[in-house]
Structure 1
């Protein structure tokens, strides 16, 4: 723990910090690793020293500018990370300098009607909002270029920076003994996928599952279904290389749609005697969503949407299809209430109940972030862990 605390200093508290960050200046242009300025945290905000961060497909889609409304430049992307509290703003009580923390893009204030409800993990004020590029408190940025121009925030977190400022509602304190290296994965991908199996679908022992898209989120669904004792876990992906990683984590069957002469849903129905109990759409593709929905069993099948769908196209379903007993639902952050439930989930990971190492396929220094981005584009990595 002493070596980690050496990453923070009391001398920076209350002052503007100059540090390195990867800044996006335009869609699909290489991120620029340069010096920026990070302001001190304001009321109910926290500034942290980021030690590890990784790239998610949501970062990739934002970098590609898939949604015009999200094109705010310059901007610091990133939302999967872990680090240490460097300083806290006025009113913050639950976090102190030196605490080990994990950022969460879907915040939890703990006080609003949403946070008090057991029916949702959304927060009235700090829920995920890809269209907001400033802090909630005053609508301003805490980042700026060396010549004073503001740099926009991303998903309440902006972790592609040595230091970042977040609302305290978007930070989870975790056990000091939990390895920050792997805890990084709980910020998004693993929590989202595994939580979808545990919380959203509530998969039970002996039930069957089909996972469409075997990226990090899809494989986290596989891990969640495996730990729950699912009898059959079918992985679907057009990348044949995903079969090896899928089998290592827990799929029992692999389907490559390119190898079939029938629709995927028909193949799954033939394999399972009518369809799976649950399907998970992790690709962000409406045609895939249609196949996922059709692959579930008549009468009780449930489809959980986890993929990001940036286009304005609508659901490929006829309303009457829902009268056959099949259901469809979206899941944000795996229906985990971040600040309330993530510490316990982290404890389960530390005990070895969940395989985290399987998701880290590459590691490299932060300044190689564009190489890490390309690995994700090429489908060669699940999570590339960047060391700051």
Structure 2
């Protein structure tokens, strides 16, 4: 690495010779939909006003990275691009005007930022932000509409992804998309707070506000779905039903906290009828984590009429609309979406990190594989094959 910090023991003294300079480092660049990522040297510019440059130490792969890499949505096909949005690391340098972060701070990036000043950030009814809300189509920095990445040969622009772009040894983010956490927190595990665990668990704690004694059904037992399970377990739910067509998910689900497992391929009736029979009319809450509209309808119908709530967490790339008739809502069932678990990232994530440190939330089960960064394509294949929840990449 040229002009970079090659310190591998993850200790930082806060005095960077690289501040204000272009850094040459390695990144995994996506050049086209479905093409293997190319780990190569790139150039990373210094942060501009209200931006920060991070040294990424750990990153992992989420299904959102996978769908973007595969080009599932034509409007997202912006290449070359640096994907990735789950990570942890250290502040290398800060741009003009940044006062809440400094070099050496332990941080996690967040794709759904918080400026703290707009009407949305000041409202207690949303965790969206006028400037830094999640936007999968955004590929440049907010400041000037340009990128901070470029190719080493020729200096051609490389585009950003989800306000973060963590598949790089160094990355530049808006300061509103960076959260400072306790320096004693294990950065390796804190990577999970950037997306999957916060999204799933927050949907239980914040969006649905599940209470002790409740019954829930989780459709799709990937990392987000299992984070829902963990959140429900921590809240004292009495019945946690996991639904997945992958039979191997049963073991992982039971390790985290499901009480029952349903494989739709093994039952002779719609899943919602099975769940209604198991629960005396339906669960209090269902969580759709599969990104499939047919699954969403089953999740909706699996809740109890009169008071059931369905929380949508899956990403739906299809142009199809909701498979519901408006009159079905008159039975008292509700449906709501949840972004980043309704956490306000910069405001609430530091406290959540401490809850994880104290053992109130268990994170170990979510990291199923670990690989060096240069094996990122193998990590993608593990996710495609359904073998990993989160494969942690060490940079």
Asked whether the two chains share a fold, i.e. TM above 0.5, the reply is yes
Deviation string 1:197-219 (CA, Å, 9 cap, x unpaired) is 00000000001000000000000
2:251 is aligned, of 231, 244, 248, to 244
Which whole-Å CA distance do the structure 2 matches of 1:106 and 1:163 have between them?
Answer: 20
> Which of 19, 25, 31 is residue 13 of structure 1 equivalent to?
19
Tell me the residue number matched to 1:107.
113
Equivalent runs, 1:270-309 vs 2, <5 Å: 270-309=277-316
| 8 Å Cα contact 1:193/1:220 also seen in 2 | yes
For the Cα contact (< 8 Å) 2:12–2:104, is it kept in 1? Answer: no
What is the distance in 2 between the residues matched to 1:190 and 1:377? 19
May I ask how many residue pairs the two structures share in their alignment? 388
Counterparts of 1:193 and 1:136, CA distance in 2? 28
Report the secondary structure of 1:227's partner residue: helix
Give deviations 1:71-123, integer Å, cap 9, x for gaps.
00000000000000000000000000000000000000000000000000000
* Counterpart among 93, 98, 107 of residue 92 in structure 1: 98
Q: Tell whether the 8 Å contact from 1:142 to 1:165 is kept in structure 2 after alignment.
A: yes
Counterpart in the other structure of 1:65: 71
Q: Which runs of 4+ in 1 moved over 3 A?
A: 6-9
Distance 1:76 1:2, change over 3 A: closer
Q: 1:194 aligns with which of 184, 189, 201?
A: 201
Matched residues in 2 for 1:10 and 1:308: separation? Answer: 39
Q: Which residue of 1 aligns with 2:143?
A: 137
Give deviations 1:126-150, integer Å, cap 9, x for gaps. 0000000000000000000011100
Contact 1:281 1:304 in 2 (8 A): yes
- CA gap of 1:363–1:119, structure 2 versus 1, over 3 A, is same
Q: What is the CA-CA distance between 1:240 and the residue it aligns to?
A: 0.2
Give structure 2 stretches of 5+ with no counterpart: 1-6
Provide the rounded CA distance (Å) in 1 between the counterparts of 2:317 and 2:247. 26
Secondary structure of 1:230 counterpart:
coil
Alpha-carbon distance, 1:188 to partner:
0.1
Aligned twin of 2:4: none
Q: CA RMSD in A?
A: 1.1
Corresponding residue number in structure 1 for 2:379: 372
Q: 1:174 aligns with which of 151, 162, 181?
A: 181
**What is residue 3 of structure 2 aligned with on the other side?**
none
Counterpart for residue 317 of structure 1: 324
Following the alignment from structure 2 to structure 1, what is the Cα–Cα distance between the partners of residues 50 and 234?
37
- Cα contact 1:72–1:133 (8 A) shared by 2: yes
Aligned counterparts of 1:137 and 1:274: Cα–Cα separation in 2:
52
Note the C-alpha offset of 1:62: 0.3
Q: Is residue 8–residue 84 contact of structure 1 (8 Å, CA) maintained in 2?
A: no
Q: 2: CA distance between counterparts of 1:152 and 1:34?
A: 15
Shift of 1:6: 4.6
1:203 to 204, 210, 223: 210
Compute the displacement of 1:5 (Å): 2.5
Find the aligned partners of 1:322 and 1:6 in 2 and give their Cα distance.
55
User: Offset at 1:3?
Assistant: 3.5
Q: Assess if the C-alpha contact under 8 Å between 1:13 and 1:86 holds in 2.
A: yes
Please give the secondary structure, in 2, of the residue aligned with 1:119: coil
Q: Is the 8 A contact 2:15 2:103 kept in 1?
A: no
Per the TM alignment, residue 9 of structure 1 is displaced from its structure 2 partner at its CA by 5.7
